[in-house]
Amino acid sequence: MKGILALFIVALTSSLILGCKKDTVDTKDENDNLFVANVHVYDSLTGDAVKAKVDFIWVAPGGGGWLSHEVLHTVETNAQGIAQLESVVPDQYIGLGGDFVLRIQRSGYFNVYGQPNDDRFGKVLPVSIDSEVNIDLALNPFYSIILSAENVNCSAATDSVWIEAVGTTYEYEAYGCADTTYPGIFHAGDMENITCVYDTNYAVFQITTKKSGVVNTYTESHGLTLGNTPDQIHISY
């Protein structure tokens, strides 16, 4: 009887030890995959804090690039332009390979994936998830406009105007008696018609009109204000 009891105690003890050992092997601390980024975003000209959105993104390997990506976590900088992003990276993304990046963008603005980085709006920065990341990012100031033109003294449907934004690659034209607003590629919040963005606080336009066969060329200069609200510039000809 004593022998049977001893064998039972040994078997029970071995079972408990093996059970504890199994739990220890299978348990993984989620902090093993914890990524931390400390971000500071500011205006390169004034040094003032910039309100920005910070996305932590996994980008698929191979030729897919931005065509296959996943936003893992998003934060926004505070009034001091500072944000701390903490994200546990799922094992599946580590196993798949690919790249991890931080996309830091001025709030209210976005770029289409694959476009070159623009220091006015933000940056896409590669990061390593093996260590804590500290980033100081300076964004250039920007001045945005919504441009429109109106033929206030229309002579015929053949009236024409050509507008060149001096110092840029932007050119615009209009024909007839219409009042025309020129949309562009930039967007801010609900504003879908931002025509052009400048790095300077003024815009110069060379304007060429043709009415009744008479061609006239002149320039107009407009002061611009800094910030997310576009200046409305209306050219009457």
Q: What is the pLDDT of residues 157-215, one digit of tens each?
A: 999 999 999 988 888 999 999 888 887 766 555 455 678 888 888 999 999 999 999 99
Burial 60-90 (b: 16+ CB within 10 A, else e): beeeeeeeebeebeebebeeebebebebebe
Q: Is the pTM of this model over 0.85?
A: no
Fold match flag (30-139 vs 143-236): yes
pLDDT surpasses 60 at 34: yes
How many helices (H) and strands (E) the chain has is answered by 2, 17
pLDDT surpasses 70 at 93: yes
For domain 143-236, say whether CATH 2.40.160 is its number: no
Fold of the domain spanning 30-139: Immunoglobulin-like (2.60.40)
Rounded-to-10 torsion of CA 117, 123, 129, 135: 140
Question: Which of the pair, 184 or 41, is modelled with greater confidence?
Answer: 41
